[in-house]
Amino acid sequence: MNAAHTGRRPESAKEAASRWVIRRSGATLDAQAEAEFDAWYGADASHAEAYDRLSRLWSRMGEIDRGKLAAPRRAGKRAAAALALLAAAWPAWNLLQDLHPGANYASGAEVRRVSLPDGSSATLDAHSAIAIDFSAEKREVRLLAGRALFAAAPRPAGGPAFTVVTADASAAALGTRYAVARGEGGTRVTVYEHRVAVQCLACAGAQELILGPGEGADVSAAGIARDAARRESEPDWSRGLLAFNDVALPDAAAQLSRYTGKHILVLGEAARGVRVSGTANVGDPKRALALLLAQTKVGITDLPGLLILR
C-alpha cells in the first residue's frame, strides 16, 4: 500500500459544513468570514442541508444553544470545545442515518453476512439494510439501503425465483451470485456467477434483459444500461477490502468512513489534493489510512468519533 500523488479536489458539502460549524462555534467571525459563509451556504442546496442537519443535531444534543453557534468566548477554548463536540456528534448523526424501519437485517460500520430462510445468503456492505418476504410462493429481498452480495439457493421445482427488489429494479436469480446496490441515480446490478434477469420497475415501458457473468447494468427511470464488469468471483468489499487506484484522498476517506464509527475529515488544500493508491483492509480504517499516507506529509489526528487528516 503506497504511492500517493498530488492534485487538487474540492472538499465535499459534508466536509465544508463541518468546517463551518467548527468556525462558527469558535471566535465570532468577522464580516468577511460571515460573507464567505453566506456565499457558501447559499451556493447550493446541499450546502445548506449539510450545515443545517449538523447544526440541528448539535442543538438536539443540548451542547450548543439553538441559534448561538457564534456566541463570544475565548477563541482557543471555543475551537477545542467545538472540535470535541463535532467528534461526539458524528457517531450520533451516522446512527440516525442508519435507521431503516421495516428492515430484517441491517449493518452498521461493518460488512455483515446473514443466512436467509431458504438457504441463500446475503453479504451486506456497511450501512446497508434489507427486508425479506419468503413464503411458498415468494422469495423476495427488498434492498432498503446500501448494497449487498447475494448467493441464491437453487430454485425449488415449481417454486419461486430468488428476487432482489429496489425502487428502480428487480433482479431475479437464475441460479447465481450477484450484487445489487442502491444509489441516488438508480440501481446497479453486477453478476459474478450464472445469470440474472433484470427488469426496470422505474421505466415508463417494460424493459428487461439477462445479464451473464462479468456483466453489469445501471437501472433508473432512463432505462437499463448494460456494461462490462470486472470478472471476479465476488466484489472486494465483501472480502473486507477496498482497492484504490490514484484516488483523491477525500474520496478514499469517504469510502473508508463507511467502515468505522468515526467520521473521517480531510482538512486543508494540501491534504485534499493528495491522491492515493493501494489496497485497504476495512477492518482497521485508521491503519489503512496510515499505510495509504505513508509516503505523504498528511498526518492523522485520532479523536473520539473523528479522524482528522491534514
Judgement on whether residues 217 and 273 belong to the same structural domain of the protein: no
**Segments of the chain scoring below 50 in pLDDT:** 1-9, 58-75, 92-93, 95-96
Q: Considering 236, 259, 292, which residue would you say is the last residue of a domain?
A: 236
* pLDDT for 52: 79
Decide which of 179, 206, 236 is a domain's last residue.
236
Are 23 and 132 contained in the same domain?
no
42: cell is 447559499
pTM summary value: 0.68
Sheet order of strands, 241-248 included: 4-6, 274-281, 241-248
Domain boundary among 172, 206, 236: 236
Q: Identify whether residues 173 and 61 lie together within a single domain.
A: no
Give me the number of domains the chain comprises: 2
Count CB atoms within 10 A of the CB of residue 17. Answer: 23
CATH code, domain with 67: 3.55.50.30
Residue 131, domain extent: 112-236
Q: Say yes or no: 128 and 91 in one domain.
A: no
Is residue 159 located within the same domain as residue 72?
A: no
What is the structure's pLDDT at 284?
84
Q: 3-class SS at 117?
A: coil
pLDDT at 77: 54
104, part of any domain:
no
